[in-house]
Amino acid sequence: MHQDIEKILYSSEDLSKLVACISDEIAEDYKGKSPVLIPILKGSVMFFADLVRKLPLDCTFDFMSATSYGSGTESSGNVMITKDITIDIKGKDVIIVEDILDTGNTLFYIKNYLNDKYEPASIRICTLFDKPSRRKKDIKADYSGDEVDDMFIVGYGLDFDENYRDLPYIGVLKPAVYKKTKE
C-alpha cells in the first residue's frame, strides 16, 4: 500500500467485479444497439478501458476532457471543456463515462453541453462511484458501481493534484496529504 493511503476501500478484484456488474447492466439496456461512449479524461481512463473490454456491444467512443477542480480538493463550480469530442453523435445513444459523480457540477455541465451542441438521441451517465452526500446539482447516474461516503479517494484513475491515478486499487488519501496544500 502506498504511504499516503490511509486504507484500501476497493481492491483490484473488487473493482473488476464492479466493472463487470456495470457492463452487464449496460449490455442489457443497449441490446441490439451501438452506443457511443464518451469517457471524461483523465480520471475515467482506467475504468473506461476495463468497461469497454467487457461490453459485448458494438460501440464507438471519443474522449472529452473538462475540469472544475484545478489542484484543490473542492470543485470551483466553473467547468471548462479542455478537449471536445470530434465524432458526430447527432441522433445517437450516448453514455458519458466518468470516474466519480461528486458535486455533479462537471457532469451536469457536460450533459447539457452535449445535448445542446450535438443533439444526441439520448444521454446516460455511467460512473464508477457515486458520492451523493456532496451533490450540488440535480443529476443522477444511470449506471454506478457503488456509493461512497464523503472521503477523499484516489487510485484507479482518481487523483489528487494529478497524483495516485496509477494505483491499482481505490484508497482513502490521508488527510495530512491534502491539508498540506491548503496551508
Residue tagged active-site, from 50, 93, 102, 130: 102
User: Shortest CA distance to 106 belongs to which of 130, 147, 78, 143?
Assistant: 78
Q: What is the 3-state secondary structure (H, E, C) of 141-180?
A: CCEEEEECCCCCEEECCECECCECCCCCCEEEECHHHHHH
Contact (CB, 8 A) for 108 and 115: no
Reply yes or no on whether 149 is catalytic.
no
Among residues 85, 79, 82, 80, which one has the least CA distance to residue 97?
85
So which residues are the catalytic ones? Answer: 102
